[in-house]
Every structure is written in structure tokens, then in C-alpha cells.
A and B are shown apart, each in its own frame.
Chain A
Amino acid sequence: MIDLKLYDRLFGVGCHQLKFNGLFLQGTADIDGRDMAVIGTRDHAAIDGTIALQISAAILQVVSEDTVSGKSPRPIIFIADTQGQALSRHEELLGLNGYFAHVVRCVDLARRHNHRLLTIISGEAVSGGFLAYGMMSDCICALPDAQVRVMDLRAMSRVTKISLERLEDLAKASPVFAPGAENFWRMGGIHEIWTEQDNWPQRLIDALDKATNSDARAAIGLERGGRHMAAPIKSLVVNS
């Protein structure tokens, strides 16, 4: 049995119709008469080629349905819960990066077709799996328990040959490498972190209303004091 508590809390009891296929989910929701499409993964899915194709097919289906029906394009809510890409020789042989690139292209198509795109991070958002679809939307929101990271500090310590103690110490002052939704928020990589007390359907609607299709994350990161270099370096190059 799949626990529907999360989706009840996000959209309201009886306000969503979701189909589950393995760790992939797809369906619709309706908050106060506003229709939206829902696409996501659950249970910390490792994204392999099969799941990537399920995500891209679902996006293409939404774009196609709204094109055919002539209705105004529905928002797409991505529910991201991924431990990252599947680690497998078979997947690498077939070019998993190309499957992820295809997902990215499909997300971009939806944006160009005026679908508002919103990501809700539940559970985990890690590295490549997160990059492929969760990070491509117009607005990225994290639930209170969300774990966001590229790599844990222990593994990072091994690769960079910097002691774990030193990394843990530096992580207190800098949001730049340590895991955590709060760190990504400060750097502009996450737009909102919701709290346990929040009315999530209301926050979702508010986030949809506020979102735009331009990428302002570098400016947001500068404003929040977590990413000082990105925005000015970009401007420096643009104005060269």
C-alpha cells in the first residue's frame, strides 16, 4: 500500500488522482478549482532510463492533451524524491545522460508551451536525478524534511582529501558544499522552504501565482547572501 498522506497534505484529501507505477507517479490535482498535472518519483527513487522515460512521457502527454483540448496550459507539479541517478554499467552503456537530457528538453517544451512548472522536494533531492527535472522548473519548493545534497560530507572528504572535521567546521560558515535545503535556499537554488505549520495547498497556489518563466536564481542567491560571485561574473561576461 502506498501511503497517500503526503499527497493528501499537499493537495487536500480527495483533491488528487494519482497513479503509481513502481517509484513513478502521475496524475492530476485540483486545488480550489485549479487543475494541475502532477508528475513525480517517490521513496528516494534512483533515476534510471526507465523512470526518466516515464517522466518525459508524462510531460509530453500533458503538453499534448492541453494542446489538443485547447484549454489553457495546466501547471505541472513535479514531486521530486530521488537519491540521484542509477549507478549501473548497463545504464551508462545506453547513455543515461542522454535520457536525462531528453527529460530536460521535455521540461523546456512544457515551459515554452506556457505550462507553469513547480517542483516540490519531498524526501531527498540528490545530484543528477534532481538536476534532470526538479531543478528545471520555474519555482522550487522544499518540504520541511527535505534532504538536498550533491554528496555527503564523508564522500566529499574522500574525494577532496580534506578532513571530515575540517569540512564539518567550514560547513557551519559556508552554504557552498554542505548538504541541506537551507544551504540551497541561501544560494538561490531553492525558492521556498515550507514549514510543518504551513497550509501546503495555499503555499502551492501562492508559489504558482508568483512564479515566472525567467531564471532569477543567481540574483536571488546574491540577495540572500549565499552566492556572491555568480551574478556579477555573469554580468561581467555578458558585458564584455
Chain B
Amino acid sequence: MNRLQISYFEASARKRVNALVDADSFTEYCPPELRKTSPHLALLDSPLALDDGVIVGQAKLAGHSVLVIAQEGRFYGGSVGEVHGAKICGLLEKALAKKPAAVLLLADSGGVRLHEANAGLIALSEIVRSLLQVQAAGIPVLALVGGSCGAFGGMGIVTRICNELVMSEQGRLGLSGPEVIETVKGVDEFDSRDRALVWRITGGKLRRALGEATVLVDDLIPAFRTAAIQLVERYKTQTLVADDLAVLLAAQSNLVNRRTRFEGARDGREIWQDMFTDSARVPDMTVEEFNQQMSVLL
């Protein structure tokens, strides 16, 4: 199979990591051989994974030292339980000592693992605090989102705290998943089976248009790799400082403005109409064309 054709969406977490970083450069921490599985899933007689659905370790990316976190969306939707969360938290703490060029977070998760919900929620809050410390230490954290579970729940928040967010069009990002909203609020509020609608609300193009995703790439692992390399090299040349009051006040007014500008909007189409002259074509645009139009708009 041609390495250039590998879909990021279709690949497993392990395949993503191996194809993303420099060949044979990945060393896993807390690998499957150690059998650190979830005691809580075991108690419920539920299936286990030897890596508890997340891979953490070190690697080289275009020769630069990086630490990597990759969630496996096929294992309980990449959800965060006690062991899974502790591996991510540990990796972030490791970054404080090791000072890599960047931490790459390959998020693919619906958020808290309900089978161990309390542990998962606490773990997510610990991940957030560790992540902020890593950034305050001047180490950029780059999120990559293009898997089948996207990044939702607590992982949706974590992803938006990262310094950069690389997404594919197939990637999805949000807080509450469409199914949850439909279950609680009804199908009129959100029809989770309307795939086109789901993508217009949560998908990569929408997130890029709103400026949340900082890079939109094709659904190919090499495309994610190229974007990650460019970002790591950009951060090599600039000093990362923690957000100060002025930065956060500016962010505040941006978020206020978005609510005013798109007051009452309930469909990505309304965002396209506001931004693009040829808004009807947005869903059909190639990533290249979309990015080209965005570069004019921004």
C-alpha cells in the first residue's frame, strides 16, 4: 500500500503514530507488555486493552524531539478512564523534565469513560492542569484531530487549550455529541443521523472557518505529518509565553463578538453565508481551495 494514501481517519492510533513520526523513532512508555489495564472495566467484565486505549511515548519528528499521545478511538470511543488519563497526565509531566520541541496530542475521544466516570472526570481536570503547566514552561502542545470519534466532552476542552489544532475535514470537535443532544433535547434540536448536518456543526471546515482549528489538512497521515513539522519548526523560532491578561482580554472580546455575529445561528451554512461569497460551494471545496479562500478572508 502506498504510504501516501494512508487515511488518518481509517488508521488505528498505533498506525497513526508510526506513520506520523520519523521511521522507527517511536519509543513507547508504559507499553502493552506491562499490561496496565483498567481494573474498573475488569470489575464490570467488560473488554480490556493492554494499553487502555492510549499510546504515549517519545519520538523524532523531522529530527526534532517530540512527545506523543495517541488515543485509540476504537476502544470505548477513545474514552478517558483512570489508567488512560494517568498515562496522558504522566506524559505531560514528563514533558516538563524532558523539554521536547513539542507535545503532539492525537486526540480521538468522546470524553469521559462512563464505566469509570468519576475517575475519568477527575483525570481530565488533572490533564488540563498539567497541560497548562507544560505550556507555561514554554513547550507547545499541538492537537491533531481527524479520527472517527473526533474530540468531545472533556477532550474537546483539552483540545481547545492546545496551542495549535490541526484538523481534517472529517475530524469533528465539540462538547456534547449530537447523540447526547438528540437524546435529551429531541430530534428537532439535533438530528444526529443527518451526517451532513453533524459535519456542518462539528467538522473541520467549520472549526477552521471560526479560527478554532489553525490548520486544515487532507485526511492523509502524511498531510498531518507535514503540518505538524511546520508547526514544530515555527515554534522553534519563537518563544512561547503563557497567556497574559491582555491576551485573555482579547480572547474574551473575540468570543463575545462571535456570539453577537452569529446570534441564533444553528447551522454551519449560516457561517458560510456570512463569510464566503460562494457559500453554497463550501462543502464541495477541496482542502486546498478552502484554505486558499480562508487565507484571503483572515
Contact = CB atoms under 8 A, between A and B. Distances in A.
B275 interface: no
A56 B255 CA distance: 11
Interface stretch (A16-24, A28-36, A105-113): A105-113
A150 B185 CA distance: 18
A218 interface: yes
A69 interface: no
Interface centre among B91, B121, B153, B267 (most CB of A within 10 A): B121
Contacts of B116: 176-177
Interface of B: 29-30, 34, 36, 38-40, 43-44, 46, 56-57, 82-83, 85-87, 89-91, 93-94, 97, 112, 114-126, 128-130, 132, 136, 152-154, 156-161, 173-176, 178, 180-181, 184-185, 189-190, 201-202, 206-207, 210, 212, 242-245, 248-249, 251-252, 255-256, 258-259, 262, 264-268, 271
B176 A227 contact: no
A94 B190 contact: no
B266 A235 contact: no
Contact of B43 (A88, A93, A170): A170
A72 interface: no
Given A93-B267, A104-B128, A174 B43 contact: yes
Interface centre among A60, A95, A149 (most CB of B within 10 A): A95
Contacts of A166: 44
Contact of A218 (B56, B126, B259): B126
Interface in A75-123: 85, 87-102, 104-106, 108-109, 112
Contact of A234 (B86, B190, B245, B251): B86
Contacts of A175: 118
B180 to A, nearest CB: 7
A156 B180 contact: no
B30 to A, nearest CB: 5
A177 B201 contact: no
Contact of A238 (B46, B97, B119, B160): B97
Contact of B154 (A128, A160, A178): A128
Contact of A88 (B85, B112, B189): B189
A2 interface: no
A98 to B, nearest CB: 4
B196 to A, nearest CB: 14
Interface centre among A53, A106, A128 (most CB of B within 10 A): A128
B125 A136 contact: yes
A56 B83 CA distance: 31
19 contacts: A64-B249, A92-B174, A92-B176, A93-B262, A95-B174, A100-B157, A108-B132, A108-B136, A109-B243, A136-B129, A160-B44, A162-B44, A162-B46, A166-B44, A170-B43, A177-B40, A189-B125, A233-B90, A237-B91
Given A105-B248, A151-B117, A217-B126, 17 more contacts: A89-B189, A90-B264, A93-B206, A96-B175, A97-B173, A98-B160, A100-B175, A104-B157, A105-B132, A105-B161, A109-B242, A127-B121, A177-B119, A187-B119, A228-B39, A236-B90, A237-B90
Interface residues of A, number: 74
A50 interface: yes
A121 to B, nearest CB: 13
A235 B157 contact: no
A41 interface: no
Nearest to B200: A93
Given A92-B174, A97-B174, A237-B29, A87 B181 contact: yes
Nearest to A231: B86
B255 A99 contact: yes
A86 B159 CA distance: 19
A166 B118 CA distance: 18
Contacts of A49: 255, 259
A94 B117 contact: no
A232 to B, nearest CB: 8
A193 interface: no
A73 to B, nearest CB: 12
Contacts of B161: 101, 104-105
A87 B82 CA distance: 26
Interface string A165-209: 010001000111110000110011100000000000000000000
